[in-house]
Amino acid sequence: MPELPEVETVVRQIAPGVEKRTIRGLDLYWARTLSGGTRARVERAIVGARIARSYRRAKWIVFELAAGRGALLVHLRMTGRLFVRATKEPASDYVRLSLALSGGKRLDFEDVRKFGRVHWCADPNEVFESLGPEPLADDFTAEDLHMALTSRRRMLKPLLLDQTVVAGLGNIYVDETLFASGLHPLTASDRLGRADTERIHTNMRRILARAIECQGSSFDVFYRTPEGQPGRFQDEFLAYGRDGRPCRNCGTELIKLTVAQRGTHVCPVCQPKPRRRRVAKKKRTARRTDTTSTSRP
DNA sequence: CGGGTATCCTGATAGC
DNA sequence: TGCTATCAGGATACCC
Ligand SMILES: [Zn+2]
Protein backbone atom coordinates (compact mmCIF):
# COMPACT_ATOMS: atom_id res chain seq x y z
CA MET A 1 0.00 0.00 0.00
CA PRO A 2 2.17 2.74 1.16
CA GLU A 3 4.91 4.63 -0.52
CA LEU A 4 6.23 8.05 0.37
CA PRO A 5 3.07 10.06 -0.47
CA GLU A 6 0.76 7.70 1.40
CA VAL A 7 3.04 7.54 4.43
CA GLU A 8 3.38 11.32 4.45
CA THR A 9 -0.39 11.63 4.38
CA VAL A 10 -0.78 9.19 7.26
CA VAL A 11 1.74 11.07 9.39
CA ARG A 12 0.13 14.43 8.78
CA GLN A 13 -3.33 13.18 9.63
CA ILE A 14 -2.36 11.06 12.61
CA ALA A 15 -0.06 13.57 14.29
CA PRO A 16 -2.69 15.78 15.96
CA GLY A 17 -4.35 12.72 17.45
CA VAL A 18 -1.25 11.33 19.14
CA GLU A 19 1.23 14.11 19.86
CA LYS A 20 1.36 15.17 23.51
CA ARG A 21 -0.52 12.08 24.56
CA THR A 22 0.96 9.54 26.94
CA ILE A 23 1.12 5.85 26.17
CA ARG A 24 -0.81 3.95 28.82
CA GLY A 25 -0.57 0.43 27.51
CA LEU A 26 0.30 -1.94 24.69
CA ASP A 27 -1.98 -4.61 23.27
CA LEU A 28 -0.42 -7.08 20.89
CA TYR A 29 -2.50 -9.45 18.76
CA TRP A 30 0.18 -10.71 16.37
CA ALA A 31 3.52 -11.23 18.03
CA ARG A 32 5.73 -10.58 15.02
CA THR A 33 4.20 -7.18 14.43
CA LEU A 34 6.33 -5.89 17.30
CA SER A 35 10.09 -5.78 16.84
CA GLY A 36 13.10 -4.19 18.44
CA GLY A 37 12.85 -6.06 21.70
CA THR A 38 10.70 -8.43 23.67
CA ARG A 39 7.24 -7.30 24.46
CA ALA A 40 8.18 -6.84 28.09
CA ARG A 41 11.22 -4.76 27.23
CA VAL A 42 9.25 -2.52 24.88
CA GLU A 43 6.42 -2.14 27.31
CA ARG A 44 8.84 -1.06 30.01
CA ALA A 45 10.25 1.58 27.70
CA ILE A 46 7.07 3.07 26.29
CA VAL A 47 4.33 2.78 28.89
CA GLY A 48 4.21 6.09 30.69
CA ALA A 49 6.12 7.84 27.92
CA ARG A 50 4.75 10.89 26.15
CA ILE A 51 4.73 11.09 22.36
CA ALA A 52 6.77 14.22 21.77
CA ARG A 53 6.43 14.49 18.01
CA SER A 54 5.84 12.47 14.89
CA TYR A 55 7.34 12.65 11.43
CA ARG A 56 8.11 10.60 8.34
CA ARG A 57 11.47 9.27 7.18
CA ALA A 58 11.42 7.21 3.98
CA LYS A 59 8.44 4.87 4.46
CA TRP A 60 8.76 4.94 8.24
CA ILE A 61 6.35 6.72 10.52
CA VAL A 62 8.26 7.88 13.57
CA PHE A 63 6.80 8.54 16.99
CA GLU A 64 9.49 10.12 19.10
CA LEU A 65 9.05 9.57 22.81
CA ALA A 66 9.95 12.21 25.37
CA ALA A 67 12.46 11.86 28.19
CA GLY A 68 14.85 9.53 26.42
CA ARG A 69 12.37 6.71 26.08
CA GLY A 70 13.37 6.05 22.49
CA ALA A 71 11.01 5.96 19.52
CA LEU A 72 8.38 3.79 17.91
CA LEU A 73 8.78 3.37 14.18
CA VAL A 74 5.86 2.07 12.15
CA HIS A 75 6.31 0.50 8.72
CA LEU A 76 3.06 -0.21 6.90
CA ARG A 77 4.59 -2.51 4.28
CA MET A 78 1.78 -3.74 2.03
CA THR A 79 -1.46 -3.46 3.98
CA GLY A 80 -0.75 -1.61 7.21
CA ARG A 81 -2.99 1.24 8.37
CA LEU A 82 -3.10 3.54 11.38
CA PHE A 83 -6.17 4.97 13.03
CA VAL A 84 -6.76 6.96 16.20
CA ARG A 85 -9.97 5.87 17.88
CA ALA A 86 -11.81 6.51 21.09
CA THR A 87 -11.09 3.87 23.71
CA LYS A 88 -14.70 2.80 23.76
CA GLU A 89 -15.00 2.26 20.03
CA PRO A 90 -15.10 -1.43 19.15
CA ALA A 91 -11.95 -3.02 17.72
CA SER A 92 -12.05 -3.32 13.97
CA ASP A 93 -10.82 -6.31 12.01
CA TYR A 94 -7.14 -6.95 11.51
CA VAL A 95 -5.86 -4.94 14.46
CA ARG A 96 -2.41 -6.39 15.17
CA LEU A 97 -1.25 -3.90 17.78
CA SER A 98 -2.89 -1.12 19.71
CA LEU A 99 -1.52 1.58 21.99
CA ALA A 100 -3.75 2.87 24.75
CA LEU A 101 -3.32 6.64 24.96
CA SER A 102 -4.17 9.28 27.49
CA GLY A 103 -7.30 11.30 26.89
CA GLY A 104 -9.49 8.29 26.12
CA LYS A 105 -7.87 7.46 22.78
CA ARG A 106 -5.99 4.59 21.30
CA LEU A 107 -3.78 4.13 18.25
CA ASP A 108 -4.68 1.04 16.22
CA PHE A 109 -2.30 -0.61 13.81
CA GLU A 110 -4.26 -2.76 11.37
CA ASP A 111 -2.59 -5.04 8.88
CA VAL A 112 -4.31 -7.72 6.83
CA ARG A 113 -1.14 -9.39 5.58
CA LYS A 114 0.90 -8.98 8.77
CA PHE A 115 4.02 -7.78 6.96
CA GLY A 116 4.02 -4.43 8.73
CA ARG A 117 6.08 -3.65 11.79
CA VAL A 118 5.99 -1.53 14.91
CA HIS A 119 9.61 -1.26 15.88
CA TRP A 120 10.94 0.17 19.09
CA CYS A 121 14.45 1.54 19.25
CA ALA A 122 16.43 3.71 21.61
CA ASP A 123 17.60 5.85 18.72
CA PRO A 124 15.91 5.97 15.31
CA ASN A 125 19.23 6.66 13.63
CA GLU A 126 20.01 2.97 14.06
CA VAL A 127 17.36 2.31 11.46
CA PHE A 128 17.93 5.39 9.31
CA GLU A 129 21.63 4.82 8.84
CA SER A 130 21.03 2.50 5.93
CA LEU A 131 18.58 4.79 4.14
CA GLY A 132 19.36 6.96 1.17
CA PRO A 133 18.35 10.61 0.85
CA GLU A 134 14.80 11.93 0.92
CA PRO A 135 13.85 12.62 -2.69
CA LEU A 136 11.97 15.79 -1.77
CA ALA A 137 14.68 17.28 0.42
CA ASP A 138 15.93 20.69 -0.69
CA ASP A 139 19.50 19.49 -0.67
CA PHE A 140 18.83 16.41 -2.80
CA THR A 141 20.26 17.50 -6.13
CA ALA A 142 20.23 16.06 -9.62
CA GLU A 143 23.97 15.66 -9.19
CA ASP A 144 23.44 13.51 -6.09
CA LEU A 145 21.06 11.32 -8.04
CA HIS A 146 23.37 11.12 -11.01
CA MET A 147 26.20 9.86 -8.84
CA ALA A 148 23.99 7.40 -7.00
CA LEU A 149 22.68 5.87 -10.22
CA THR A 150 25.77 5.84 -12.40
CA SER A 151 28.38 4.79 -9.87
CA ARG A 152 27.36 1.16 -10.35
CA ARG A 153 25.75 -1.03 -12.93
CA ARG A 154 22.24 -2.01 -11.96
CA MET A 155 18.88 -2.30 -13.66
CA LEU A 156 17.28 1.11 -13.31
CA LYS A 157 13.98 0.13 -11.75
CA PRO A 158 15.32 -2.11 -8.98
CA LEU A 159 17.88 0.58 -8.22
CA LEU A 160 15.18 3.21 -7.73
CA LEU A 161 13.27 0.80 -5.51
CA ASP A 162 16.38 0.30 -3.39
CA GLN A 163 15.84 2.34 -0.23
CA THR A 164 19.56 2.77 0.32
CA VAL A 165 19.79 4.75 -2.93
CA VAL A 166 16.75 7.02 -2.63
CA ALA A 167 14.32 6.49 0.22
CA GLY A 168 10.58 6.40 -0.23
CA LEU A 169 9.83 5.29 -3.78
CA GLY A 170 7.87 2.10 -4.37
CA ASN A 171 6.41 0.28 -7.32
CA ILE A 172 3.82 2.87 -8.34
CA TYR A 173 5.97 5.96 -8.22
CA VAL A 174 8.92 4.29 -9.88
CA ASP A 175 6.74 3.21 -12.80
CA GLU A 176 5.28 6.71 -13.06
CA THR A 177 8.70 8.32 -12.87
CA LEU A 178 10.19 6.06 -15.54
CA PHE A 179 7.25 6.63 -17.86
CA ALA A 180 7.46 10.38 -17.42
CA SER A 181 11.18 10.22 -18.07
CA GLY A 182 10.89 8.03 -21.16
CA LEU A 183 13.20 5.39 -19.73
CA HIS A 184 12.94 1.61 -19.82
CA PRO A 185 13.05 -0.08 -16.40
CA LEU A 186 15.84 -2.43 -17.48
CA THR A 187 18.18 0.34 -18.56
CA ALA A 188 21.66 -0.18 -17.17
CA SER A 189 22.09 2.57 -14.60
CA ASP A 190 25.68 3.36 -15.53
CA ARG A 191 24.66 4.18 -19.08
CA LEU A 192 22.45 7.07 -18.03
CA GLY A 193 23.51 10.49 -19.20
CA ARG A 194 23.13 13.81 -17.44
CA ALA A 195 19.93 14.54 -19.32
CA ASP A 196 18.46 11.22 -18.22
CA THR A 197 19.24 11.60 -14.53
CA GLU A 198 18.11 15.21 -14.65
CA ARG A 199 14.71 14.12 -15.97
CA ILE A 200 14.42 11.37 -13.38
CA HIS A 201 15.19 13.86 -10.64
CA THR A 202 12.68 16.43 -11.85
CA ASN A 203 9.90 13.97 -12.59
CA MET A 204 10.32 12.01 -9.39
CA ARG A 205 10.00 15.13 -7.28
CA ARG A 206 7.11 16.55 -9.26
CA ILE A 207 5.17 13.28 -9.12
CA LEU A 208 5.77 12.70 -5.41
CA ALA A 209 4.81 16.26 -4.53
CA ARG A 210 1.64 16.06 -6.59
CA ALA A 211 0.75 12.66 -5.10
CA ILE A 212 1.08 14.12 -1.60
CA GLU A 213 -1.31 16.91 -2.62
CA CYS A 214 -3.71 14.16 -3.68
CA GLN A 215 -3.22 12.32 -0.39
CA GLY A 216 -1.73 9.31 -2.13
CA SER A 217 -3.20 6.64 -4.39
CA SER A 218 -6.01 4.17 -3.73
CA PHE A 219 -7.29 1.53 -6.12
CA ASP A 220 -8.60 -1.15 -3.82
CA VAL A 221 -9.73 -1.51 -0.26
CA PHE A 222 -6.32 -1.21 1.37
CA TYR A 223 -5.04 2.33 1.43
CA ARG A 224 -7.26 4.81 3.24
CA THR A 225 -6.09 7.92 5.00
CA PRO A 226 -6.47 7.90 8.78
CA GLU A 227 -9.56 10.02 8.19
CA GLY A 228 -10.93 7.16 6.15
CA GLN A 229 -10.74 8.72 2.71
CA PRO A 230 -9.17 7.15 -0.37
CA GLY A 231 -6.35 9.01 -2.11
CA ARG A 232 -6.89 10.68 -5.46
CA PHE A 233 -3.61 10.35 -7.33
CA GLN A 234 -4.75 7.11 -9.01
CA ASP A 235 -6.80 9.33 -11.31
CA GLU A 236 -3.56 10.77 -12.61
CA PHE A 237 -1.70 7.50 -13.24
CA LEU A 238 -0.10 7.43 -16.66
CA ALA A 239 1.57 4.04 -16.33
CA TYR A 240 0.79 2.07 -13.20
CA GLY A 241 -2.01 -0.44 -13.79
CA ARG A 242 -2.60 0.86 -17.32
CA ASP A 243 -1.37 -2.19 -19.23
CA GLY A 244 -3.60 -2.94 -22.20
CA ARG A 245 -4.73 0.67 -22.36
CA PRO A 246 -3.48 3.35 -24.72
CA CYS A 247 -0.46 5.44 -23.82
CA ARG A 248 -1.55 8.99 -22.97
CA ASN A 249 1.44 10.19 -24.88
CA CYS A 250 1.49 8.21 -28.14
CA GLY A 251 -1.56 5.94 -28.14
CA THR A 252 0.37 2.67 -28.16
CA GLU A 253 -0.94 -0.04 -25.89
CA LEU A 254 0.96 -0.22 -22.61
CA ILE A 255 2.46 -3.56 -21.69
CA LYS A 256 3.18 -5.25 -18.40
CA LEU A 257 6.53 -6.80 -17.61
CA THR A 258 7.97 -8.40 -14.54
CA VAL A 259 11.09 -6.74 -13.21
CA ALA A 260 12.54 -7.74 -9.87
CA GLN A 261 9.36 -9.71 -9.19
CA ARG A 262 7.26 -6.59 -9.48
CA GLY A 263 4.57 -5.82 -12.00
CA THR A 264 6.06 -3.19 -14.29
CA HIS A 265 4.07 -1.00 -16.66
CA VAL A 266 5.71 0.53 -19.71
CA CYS A 267 4.96 2.09 -23.05
CA PRO A 268 7.03 0.17 -25.59
CA VAL A 269 7.34 3.28 -27.75
CA CYS A 270 7.93 6.04 -25.20
CA GLN A 271 10.20 3.82 -23.11
CA PRO A 272 12.15 1.90 -25.73
CA LYS A 273 14.36 -0.94 -24.71
CA PRO A 274 17.91 0.30 -24.53
CA ARG A 275 19.63 -0.33 -27.84
CA ARG A 276 22.90 -1.61 -26.49
CA ARG A 277 22.93 -4.09 -23.75
CA ARG A 278 20.76 -3.78 -20.77
CA VAL A 279 22.19 -4.83 -17.53
CA ALA A 280 25.06 -7.29 -17.56
CA LYS A 281 24.09 -10.54 -19.13
CA LYS A 282 25.83 -13.41 -17.56
CA LYS A 283 27.77 -14.76 -20.43
CA ARG A 284 28.16 -18.34 -19.48
CA THR A 285 28.49 -20.92 -22.23
CA ALA A 286 32.14 -20.39 -23.02
CA ARG A 287 31.94 -21.73 -26.53
CA ARG A 288 29.28 -23.69 -28.23
CA THR A 289 30.72 -26.65 -30.07
CA ASP A 290 27.29 -27.45 -31.33
CA THR A 291 27.65 -31.18 -31.10
CA THR A 292 24.60 -31.56 -28.96
CA SER A 293 22.52 -28.77 -30.32
CA THR A 294 19.03 -29.77 -31.18
CA SER A 295 16.45 -27.10 -31.62
CA ARG A 296 17.48 -23.51 -32.19
CA PRO A 297 14.88 -20.89 -32.80
C1' DC B 1 28.55 -7.27 -6.73
C1' DG B 2 24.26 -8.15 -9.26
C1' DG B 3 20.30 -10.69 -10.17
C1' DG B 4 16.93 -14.47 -9.43
C1' DT B 5 13.97 -16.88 -6.12
C1' DA B 6 11.71 -17.93 -1.85
C1' DT B 7 9.50 -16.17 2.22
C1' DC B 8 6.64 -13.67 5.36
C1' DC B 9 0.69 -13.56 5.12
C1' DT B 10 -4.24 -12.92 3.67
C1' DG B 11 -7.87 -11.79 0.60
C1' DA B 12 -9.71 -10.05 -3.83
C1' DT B 13 -10.60 -11.24 -8.29
C1' DA B 14 -9.72 -13.29 -12.79
C1' DG B 15 -10.36 -17.34 -15.17
C1' DC B 16 -12.28 -21.65 -16.07
C1' DT C 1 -22.31 -20.35 -9.14
C1' DG C 2 -18.14 -22.41 -7.34
C1' DC C 3 -13.52 -23.63 -7.22
C1' DT C 4 -8.57 -22.65 -8.12
C1' DA C 5 -4.72 -20.00 -9.63
C1' DT C 6 -2.68 -15.59 -9.67
C1' DC C 7 -1.56 -11.35 -7.90
C1' DA C 8 -0.89 -7.41 -4.55
C1' DG C 9 1.60 0.21 -2.80
C1' DG C 10 7.52 -4.13 0.77
C1' DA C 11 11.70 -5.92 2.27
C1' DT C 12 15.16 -9.41 3.05
C1' DA C 13 17.63 -13.77 3.32
C1' DC C 14 19.70 -17.01 0.42
C1' DC C 15 21.79 -18.99 -3.79
C1' DC C 16 24.47 -18.80 -8.13
ZN1 LIG D 1 3.78 5.99 -25.47
Condensed to tens digits (0 to 9), the pLDDT of residues A52-73 reads: 999 999 999 999 999 999 999 9
- Within residues 115-144 of protein chain A, the ones with CB less than 7 A from nucleic strand C are 115
**Whether pLDDT at A285 is above 70:** no
Note the pLDDT of residue A274: 87
Question: What positions of A carry a catalytic annotation?
Answer: 2-3, 59, 262
Domain that holds residue A212: 142-266
Note the pLDDT of residue A275: 75
- Within residues 237-256 of protein chain A, the ones with CB less than 7 A from nucleic strand B are none
Query: Does the nearest atom of strand B lie within 7 Å of A257's Cβ?
Result: no
DSSP assignment of A225-287: -TTS---SGGGG-SSTT-TTSB-TTT-PBPEEEEETTEEEEE-TTTSPPPSS--S--------
Asked if A19 and A121 sit in the same domain, the reply is yes
Asked if A248 and A184 sit in the same domain, the reply is yes
Query: Does the nearest atom of strand B lie within 7 Å of A154's Cβ?
Result: yes
Residues A237-254 have a mean pLDDT of: 96
Asked if A115 and A165 sit in the same domain, the reply is no
Asked if A184 and A122 sit in the same domain, the reply is no
Residue A198: which pLDDT band, with cuts at 50, 70 and 90? very high
* CATH number of the domain to which A30 belongs: 3.20.190.10
**Count of structural domains within chain A:** 2
**Whether pLDDT at A272 is above 60:** yes
Strand B nucleotides within 7 Å of a protein CB: 1-13
Asked if A58 and A98 sit in the same domain, the reply is yes
Q: Are A17 and A84 in contact (CB under 8 A)?
A: yes
Note the pLDDT of residue A182: 98
Q: How far is the CA of A246 from the C1' of B3 (A)?
A: 31
Q: pTM for the whole thing?
A: 0.93
Asked if A123 and A155 sit in the same domain, the reply is no
**Whether pLDDT at A147 is above 80:** yes
Note the pLDDT of residue A280: 53
